[in-house]
Amino acid sequence: MVAMSETAIADVPIRKRKPGSRIAEFAAYLQALPLLVILGAFLLLPIAMITVVSFWDYDFAQMYPGFVTFNYTETLGSWVTWKTYLNTLKFAAIVWGLTLTIGFWVAYFLAFHIRSTAMQMVLFLICTVPFLTSNIIRMISWIPVLGRNGLINSALVGAGIVPQPIEWLLYSDFAVVLAMVHLYTLFMVTPIFNTMMRIDKSLIEAARDAGASSLQVLTNVVLPLSKPGMAIGTIFVVTLVMADFSTVQVMSGGQSASVALMMKNEMSLLQYPAAAANAVVLLILVLLMVGGILRVVDIRKEL
Amino acid sequence: MQREPRSREFYILAVFFTIFVLFLYGPLSAILILSFQGPNGGLTFPLNGVSLHWFVNLFEKQAVGDFGGALRRSLMLGLMVMVTTVLVSLLAGLAFRRKFLGATALFYLAVASLVVPSIIISLGIGVVFSQLGLQPAWYSSAFGAHLTWTLPFGVLIMFAVFNRFSPAYEEAARDLGATSWQTFRHVLLPMIAPSLIGVGLFGFSLSYDEFARTLMTAGTYNTLPLEIYGMTTNVTTPVLYALGTVTTLFSFLVIAGTLGLIVFVNRRRAYA
Inter-chain CB proximity A151 and B30 less than 8 Å: yes
Residue A293 lies in a domain: yes
Query: From first to last of its 303 residues, what are the pLDDT tens digits of chain A?
Result: 344 444 444 444 444 444 456 777 788 888 999 999 999 999 999 999 999 999 988 877 777 788 888 888 888 888 889 999 999 999 999 999 999 999 999 999 999 888 888 888 889 988 888 877 888 888 888 888 888 888 888 888 888 888 888 888 888 899 999 999 999 999 999 999 989 998 888 998 899 899 888 888 889 999 999 999 999 999 999 999 999 998 998 888 888 889 999 998 888 888 889 999 999 999 999 999 999 998 888 777 777
Map residue A63 onto helix, strand or coil: strand
What's residue A4's pLDDT? 41
Structural domain that includes position A125: 79-302
In chain B, the percentage of residues whose pLDDT exceeds 70 is 96
Domain count, chain B: 1
In chain B, residues with a C-beta closer than 8 Å to the C-beta of A106 are: 16-17, 20
Residue B202 lies in a domain: yes
Residue B44 has pLDDT above 80, yes or no: no
Inter-chain CB proximity B163 and A267 less than 8 Å: no
What's chain B look like in SS3?
CCCCCCCHHHHHHHHHHHHHHHHHHHHHHHHHHHCCECCCCCCCCCCCCECCHHHHHHHCCCCCCCHHHHHHHHHHHHHHHHHHHHHHHHHHHHHHHCCCCCHHHHHHHHHHHHHCCHHHHHHHHHHHHHHCCCCCECCCHHHHHHHHHHHHHHHHHHHHHHHCCCCHHHHHHHHCCCCHHHHHHHHHHHHHHHHHHHHHHHHHHHHHHCCCCCCCCCECCCCHHHHHHHHHHHCCCCHHHHHHHHHHHHHHHHHHHHHHHHHHHHHHHHHC
CB pairs under 8 A between A and B: 261
Residue B197 lies in a domain: yes
Residue A207 Cα, gap to closest chain B Cα (Å): 15
In whole angstroms, give the CA distance from residue A196 to residue A202: 13
- Phi/psi for A136 (5° steps) reads -65, -40
Q: Which of A8, A136, A235 sits opposite B229 (nearest CB)?
A: A136
Residue A4 lies in a domain: no
Inter-chain CB proximity A36 and B151 less than 8 Å: no
In chain A, residues with a C-beta closer than 8 Å to the C-beta of B9 are: 113, 214
- Look up the CATH number of the domain holding residue B158: 1.10.3720.10
Residue A144 Cα, gap to closest chain B Cα (Å): 5
The 10s digit of each residue's pLDDT in B230-246 is 877 777 778 888 888 88
Residue A34 Cα, gap to closest chain B Cα (Å): 6
The Cβ of residue A100 has, within 10 Å, a number of other Cβ atoms equal to: 17
Residue B146 lies in a domain: yes
Residue A61 lies in a domain: no
The Cβ of residue B264 has, within 10 Å, a number of other Cβ atoms equal to: 12
- Phi/psi for A20 (5° steps) reads -80, -10
Inter-chain CB proximity A182 and B34 less than 8 Å: no
Residue B39 lies in a domain: no
Residue B44 Cα, gap to closest chain A Cα (Å): 5
B51 or A53: which carries more pLDDT confidence?
A53
From residue B69, alpha-carbon distances to B18, B26, B194, B224 in Å are 39, 30, 32, 8
What's residue B146's pLDDT? 94
What's residue B63's pLDDT? 52
Best B6, B127, B165, B188 member to test A by mutation, with max A CBs in 10 Å, is B127
What's residue A20's pLDDT? 54
In chain B, residues with a C-beta closer than 8 Å to the C-beta of A263 are: 119-120, 123
Residue A30 lies in a domain: no
Q: Is the dihedral of CA A176, A181, A186, A188 positive or negative?
A: positive
Instruction: Report the amino acid identity of residue A180.
Output: M
Q: Which of B88, B211, B215 sits opposite A135 (nearest CB)?
A: B211
Residue A153 lies in a domain: yes
Structural domain that includes position B104: 65-234
In chain A, residues with a C-beta closer than 8 Å to the C-beta of B103 are: 32
Residue B225 has pLDDT above 90, yes or no: no
Q: Which of B96, B120, B254 sits opposite A282 (nearest CB)?
A: B120
- Look up the CATH number of the domain holding residue A175: 1.10.3720.10
Inter-chain CB proximity B20 and A154 less than 8 Å: no
Q: Which of B111, B144, B225 sits opposite A41 (nearest CB)?
A: B144
Minimum CA–CA partner of B89 in chain A: A35
Domain count, chain A: 1
